[in-house]
Structure 1
Amino acid sequence: MIRFLKPAWTRLVPTSTRLLDSPVAQSCRHFSRFAGDDDDGDGLQHPGSWKSTEGLRRCSANYVPLSPISFLERAAKVYRDRTSLVYGSHKFTWNQTLQRCLKLASALSQLGISRGDVVSTLAPNVPAMYELHFAAPMAGAILCTLNTRLDSAMVSVLLAHSEAKVLFVDHGLLEIARGALDHLAKTNTKPPILILISEKDDSSPTGIVPGTYEYESFLETGDVGFEIRRPKSEWDPISVNYTSGTTSRPKGVVYSHRGAYLNSLATVFFHGMSSMPVYLWTVPMFHCNGWCLTWGVAAQGGTNICLRNVSPKKIFENIVLHNVTHMGGAPTVLNMIVNSSVSDQKPISRKVTIFTGGSPPPPHIFLKMEELGFSVNHLYGLTETYGPGTYCVMKPEWESLPPLEQSKLKARQGMQHLGLEEVDIIDPVTMESVPADGKTMGEVMFRGNTVMSGYFKDLQATEEAFRGGWFRSGDLAVKHQDGYMEIKDRLKDIIISGGENISTVEVEMVLSGHQAVLEAAVVARPDNHWGQTPCAFVKLKEGFDVNAQELIRFCRDHLPHYMAPKTVVFDELPKTSTGKIQKFKLREKANALGSL
Structure 2
Amino acid sequence: MANNFADLFEHSVDAMPDRIALVEQGRRITYRELDERANRLAHHLASVGVGRGTHVGFQMHNSIDTMQTLIACFKLAAAPVNINFRYGPDELAYLYDNADLEHLVYHACYGEAVRAAAQRSPRLKYLLCAADDRTAADTEVDCLAEVTDAAPATRPDITRTADDRFIMYTGGTTGMPKGVLWRQEDMWRVLGGGIDFYSNEPVADEYQQSRTGAAGEPSTWLILPPLMHLAAMMPTFIALWSGNCVIFEPRFDPAAVWQTVAAERPGVMVITGDAMARPLIDSYRAAPVDSTGLFMIASGAALLTQATKNDLLDLIPNLFVSDSIGSSETGFGGIGFAQRDTDPSRKPRVSIGRGAVVVDDDGRPVQPGDQGWLAKTGAVPLGYYKDEAKTAKLFKTVDGERIVITDDRAILEDDGTISLIGRGNMVINTGGEKVFAEEVEGVVKAHPAVYDATVIGVDHPRWGQQVAAVVSLSADAGGTLDLPDLQAHVRGHLAGYKVPRAIWVTETVTRSPSGKPDYTWARKYAAGHAPDYRADRE
Verify: 1:87 aligned to 2:10, yes or no. no
Letter in 2 for 1:357: G
Q: Structure 1: 5+ residue runs without aligned partners?
A: 1-63
Which shifted more, 535-544 or 356-365? 356-365
Identity across the alignment (%): 19
Aligned to 2:456: 523
Give the 3 Å change call, closer, same or farther, for CA 110–579 of structure 1 in structure 2.
Answer: same
Give the 3 Å change call, closer, same or farther, for CA 393–516 of structure 1 in structure 2.
Answer: closer
Native 8 Å contact 2:356 2:375 kept in 1:
yes
Residue 329 of structure 2 aligns to a residue whose secondary structure is helix
Aligned-pair CA distance for 1:88: 1.6
Verify: 1:576 aligned to 2:512, yes or no. yes
For these two proteins, the number of residue pairs brought into alignment is 507
Native 8 Å contact 1:523 1:534 kept in 2:
yes
Aligned to 1:347: 290
Distance in 1 (alpha carbons) for counterparts of 2:503 and 2:23: 45
Aligned to 2:336: 392
Alignment counterpart, residue 521 of structure 2, candidates 574, 582, 585: 585
1:148-200: CA deviation from partner (whole Å, max 9, x where unpaired): 1111121122112222221111011111111111222xxxx232311111148
Alignment counterpart, residue 365 of structure 2, candidates 409, 414, 433: 433
Aligned-pair CA distance for 1:472: 1.6
Verify: 1:119 aligned to 2:64, yes or no. no
Alignment counterpart, residue 254 of structure 1, candidates 181, 198, 204: 181
Which shifted more, 96-105 or 523-532? 523-532
Letter in 2 for 1:442: G
Distance in 1 (alpha carbons) for counterparts of 2:365 and 2:49: 50
TM-score (norm 2): 0.87
Residue 517 of structure 2 aligns to a residue whose secondary structure is coil
Verify: 1:243 aligned to 2:171, yes or no. yes
1:47-77: CA deviation from partner (whole Å, max 9, x where unpaired): xxxxxxxxxxxxxxxxx55322222212222
Aligned-pair CA distance for 1:412: 2.0
Distance in 2 (alpha carbons) for counterparts of 1:302 and 1:115: 29
Distance in 2 (alpha carbons) for counterparts of 1:115 and 1:340: 46
Distance in 2 (alpha carbons) for counterparts of 1:293 and 1:351: 17
Which shifted more, 122-131 or 538-547? 538-547
1:184-226: CA deviation from partner (whole Å, max 9, x where unpaired): 2xxxx23231111114899xx47511xx110111112222223
Verify: 1:70 aligned to 2:7, yes or no. yes
Letter in 2 for 1:265: G
Which shifted more, 263-272 or 470-479? 263-272
Aligned-pair CA distance for 1:532: 1.9
Aligned-pair CA distance for 1:118: 1.1
Aligned-pair CA distance for 1:264: 0.9
Aligned-residue Cα RMSD (Å) equals 2.8
Give the 3 Å change call, closer, same or farther, for CA 82–360 of structure 1 in structure 2.
Answer: closer
Native 8 Å contact 2:421 2:436 kept in 1:
yes
Give the 3 Å change call, closer, same or farther, for CA 534–81 of structure 1 in structure 2.
Answer: same
Residue 104 of structure 2 aligns to a residue whose secondary structure is strand
1:367-423: CA deviation from partner (whole Å, max 9, x where unpaired): 21122224210001111124x3311157xxx8xxxx3269987x6241333xx4x21
Native 8 Å contact 1:556 1:564 kept in 2:
yes
Aligned-pair CA distance for 1:585: 2.6
Aligned-pair CA distance for 1:446: 0.9
Native 8 Å contact 1:200 1:216 kept in 2:
no
Aligned-pair CA distance for 1:565: 1.5
Distance in 1 (alpha carbons) for counterparts of 2:468 and 2:323: 27
Residue 339 of structure 1 aligns to a residue whose secondary structure is helix
Give the 3 Å change call, closer, same or farther, for CA 327–362 of structure 1 in structure 2.
Answer: same
Aligned to 1:56: none
Distance in 1 (alpha carbons) for counterparts of 2:243 and 2:2: 21
**Which residues of 2 match residues 267-278 of structure 1 at below 5 A?**
269-270=197-198, 275-278=217-220
Distance in 2 (alpha carbons) for counterparts of 1:482 and 1:66: 37
Aligned to 2:46: 109
TM-score (norm 1): 0.79
Aligned to 2:385: 456
Residue 29 of structure 2 aligns to a residue whose secondary structure is strand
Structure (1/2) with the larger strand percentage: 2
1:455-476: CA deviation from partner (whole Å, max 9, x where unpaired): 1111121111112432121111
Give the 3 Å change call, closer, same or farther, for CA 259–206 of structure 1 in structure 2.
Answer: closer
Aligned to 2:328: 383
Aligned to 1:308: 250
Which shifted more, 582-591 or 568-577? 582-591
Native 8 Å contact 2:165 2:182 kept in 1:
yes
Native 8 Å contact 1:526 1:591 kept in 2:
no
Residue 492 of structure 1 aligns to a residue whose secondary structure is helix
Distance in 2 (alpha carbons) for counterparts of 1:201 and 1:244: 29
Distance in 1 (alpha carbons) for counterparts of 2:343 and 2:36: 46
Q: Structure 2: 5+ residue runs without aligned partners?
A: 200-208
Aligned to 1:503: 436
Residue 409 of structure 2 aligns to a residue whose secondary structure is strand
**Which residues of 2 match residues 13-162 of structure 1 at below 5 A?**
65-162=2-99
Aligned to 2:205: none
Alignment counterpart, residue 307 of structure 2, candidates 364, 371, 377: 364
Give the 3 Å change call, closer, same or farther, for CA 268–132 of structure 1 in structure 2.
Answer: farther
Verify: 1:218 aligned to 2:147, yes or no. yes
Aligned-pair CA distance for 1:528: 2.1
Aligned-pair CA distance for 1:302: 1.0
1:542-578: CA deviation from partner (whole Å, max 9, x where unpaired): 1313222221122223222222112222223221111
Aligned-pair CA distance for 1:103: 1.2
Which shifted more, 105-114 or 553-562? 553-562
Alignment counterpart, residue 552 of structure 1, candidates 457, 468, 487: 487
Give the 3 Å change call, closer, same or farther, for CA 509–528 of structure 1 in structure 2.
Answer: same
1:250-270: CA deviation from partner (whole Å, max 9, x where unpaired): 411112220232221158855
Distance in 2 (alpha carbons) for counterparts of 1:408 and 1:171: 44
Distance in 2 (alpha carbons) for counterparts of 1:427 and 1:355: 30
Residue 356 of structure 2 aligns to a residue whose secondary structure is strand
Distance in 1 (alpha carbons) for counterparts of 2:154 and 2:163: 26
Query: Which structure's CA Rg is the greater one?
Result: 1
Native 8 Å contact 2:269 2:298 kept in 1:
yes
Aligned-pair CA distance for 1:509: 1.9
